[in-house]
Structure 1
Amino acid sequence: MNNYSFSMEITDQLGRKFELPEIPKRVVSLVPSQTELLVDLDLEKKLVGITKFCVHPKDLRKRKKVVGGTKSVHLDKIEALHPNLILCNKEENTEEMVLELEKIAPVHVSDISKMEDAFQIIQQYGKILCCENKAEKIIAGVKSKKSLLEKKLSGRKKLKVAYFIWKKPLMVAGTDTFINALLELNGFKNVYTGRYPETNLQELQELKPDLVFLSSEPFPFKEKDKKIFKDTKAKIILVDGEFFSWYGSRLLDAMDYFMHLQDHASISR
């Protein structure tokens, strides 16, 4: 293992600086995709607290202290765990939460909107938690599979897509999201702008997407929900939301998923 000099000054993805007086040994993760990443970096022993939404690995919540959700946590439960690092995310967690958590331990906040951000957060965790080689191995694996996907897409027509995340009201992921970055990676053009705008069936028809994706999260769209969009000329596909919105090590499996999705999305209606 490499020798690291502590105290270490850390700058997170919001540009916030804080000091780590020692290598973190007790970590609380309040972001499901980052929790999964820590486990895949072989850091489960350091992980002492997670959210109720940290569902991967599926039995992790039986082994770790659940401290609440992503928008609301039990500060007393977190404080009782005596963490020396808390991991948050700009979109998943609230600013008010971060301010309260900073009274307990150093807080690192990620901000992921593109693939480069995802690679950076893996690198940062690798450095902070002294597992840089494992972090680089994950990044290399994702980049290798990403290259295969891009090769598969070479010369293909770019299809227009609407990516639905909520049913009542109808909401979509717009262009200013990590979901959009992965849609672009797949050669799709998002017909909605902004972050998570509300929409309606009339607007959807006017935008004329080739594909309508119904995500499994945060709203769990099912086969029966396809009938809502029966009057659109778009092809309607149920997609796994974790592969479009989780970053970190989940991207390894996401690239394989996208390869199969491409075949499904390109078949004739």
Structure 2
Amino acid sequence: PNITTAHYQEWLDSAVAPAIIANNVKSLSGNTPYEYLFYSDDIKRLNTGRLTSSDLKKYSHLPFGGWWVNGVNPLTGDEQLWGQFKCDTPRVIVEVKGDNGFGGKPVTKEKIIKYEAPPKVPTEAMFLRVTYRIGLNVFRKAGLGKEYAEYAYHQYKKSSKKLNNLDRIKLLDFMETEDKGFWPLVIDLNLPICITEGAKKAGALLSIGIAAISLAGIWNGCPIPKDALGNQIGLPRLIPQLDLFATKDREISICFDQDTLLKTRINVKKPPNG
């Protein structure tokens, strides 16, 4: 995928391996970000198929460009539609916090929206693509390096059979290609996983041999069901993608930031049901 030098460097500075950047991140600009974000059938459109004026105004910053990241379906290894877009010129919203406590004017605060996700669709977890070489490192750390090496060699032999002698690639080169069976194998072999907030953090962890899953926010893995008025109407449940990994004896680590804001630190420590 095409990626600008600045976007590539941003990921590299976050300790993400070049192979993970190349397989998961691309730079978008012009009208292309709209194509990646606005795929829901529930989005209001004009008869011409064009977005409404209010949505165009709300997302008028998208054409200035940014980077897009998405992963794969953990069951099949196929590309995931859902992803996140970090705009180079993020939008700013104004939050109203009520009055100042003395009956004065409402207190307002500007909030920068760093990441845009597809509207009108459920938030998903993200499972980044990995190469066979990175996959081998992950399974080695889990004590299953031999099993993964045998699996990778079998996949290499299968791919070689489909090619003639001139097109066959060396095993070392094959190890740098994408392993679409990585996440299904993580599920099947009960590999330890780490759940973190943000695709770059997940990429950095995968780069050092940890099977990391990215959430868009700390509550997105086990959301609290609410009605239209925001009232809780049931118990929190794992999203289906994470439920695949909630198996007996699997080691699961949760890795969130140590935030400087007290409110955020309290939220991180709260159980999902509040």
Under a length normalisation based on structure 2, what TM-score does the superposition of the two structures give? Answer: 0.23
Q: If each structure's helix is expressed as a fraction of its own residues, which one has the higher value?
A: 1
Q: Which structure has the larger Rg over C-alpha atoms?
A: 2
Under a length normalisation based on structure 1, what TM-score does the superposition of the two structures give? Answer: 0.23
